[in-house]
Amino acid sequence: MAKLKGLVSVVSQLRVERTSLLNQLRHVDAALSVLGKLDNGRSYTKPRRRTLSVAARKKIAAAQRARWAKVRQMKKAA
């Protein structure tokens, strides 16, 4: 029974620590928000993804069509 009381104590301490960490995280989020607005009103944005040229997209699409044609051909042969 003593082990169970010790476990309850540990769980209680972990909950207190979790509450403290959540509070600290809120402060960090608030600071990031303020700092983000100092940068000419822009907040953090995701890095831009690379764009493919039309020719590259067509090449990829043709390769994918060829792969599917090969799969269909293998199904017919089986």
pLDDT recorded at residue 23: 95
Q: Give the pLDDT confidence of 58-78 residue by residue, as tens digits.
A: 999 999 999 999 999 999 987
| pLDDT for residue 63 | 98
The band of 42, judged by pLDDT with boundaries at 50, 70 and 90, is low
The position carrying tokens 């020719």 is 55
Q: Is residue 48 part of a domain?
A: no
Domain-located, residue 22? yes
Give the chain's domain count: 1
Task: Flag whether 16 is in a domain.
Answer: yes
Dist. CA 6–CA 18, nearest whole Å: 18
Residues of the domain holding 39: 2-43+53-77
Ramachandran region of residue 37, left (φ > 0), alpha (ψ -120 to 50) or beta? Answer: alpha
